[in-house]
Amino acid sequence: MVNIVILDGYTLNPGDLSWSAFQGLGRLTVHDRTAAQEIIGRAKDAEIVLTNKTPLSAETIADLPKLRYIGVLATGYNVVDAAAAKARGIPVTNVPDYGTNSVAQFVFALLLELCHRVQRHADDVAGGGWSRCPDFSYVLSPQTELAGKTLGIVGFGAIGRQTARIGEAFGMQILALARSRKETPEFERLSWARDLNDLLARSDVVSLHCPLTPETERMINGETLKAMKPTAFLINTSRGALLDEQAVADALNEGRLAGAAADVLSVEPPAGANPLLSARNCLITPHMAWASKEARERLMAEAAENVRAFLAGTPRNVVNG
Catalytic residues: 239, 268, 287
Residue burial 107-124, b: 16+ Cβ < 10 Å; e: rest:
bbbbbebbbbbeeebeeb
d(CA 76, CA 85): 16
Q: Which amino acid is at 258?
A: A
Nearest of 281, 253, 249 to residue 265 by alpha carbon: 249
3-state secondary structure of 175: strand
In this structure, are residues 75 and 96 in contact, taking their beta carbons and an 8 Å threshold?
Answer: yes
Specify which residues 121 forms β-bridges with. none
- The candidate with the shortest Cα–Cα distance to 155, out of 183, 196, 189, is 196
Q: In this structure, are residues 259 and 235 in contact, taking their beta carbons and an 8 Å threshold?
A: no
- Tell me the CA distances in angstroms from 288 to 8, 10, 262, one per residue in order: 16, 13, 10
Dihedral sign for Cα atoms in the order 59, 64, 67, 70 = negative
Amino acid at residue number 243: L
Do the beta carbons of residue 46 and residue 27 sit within 8 Å? no
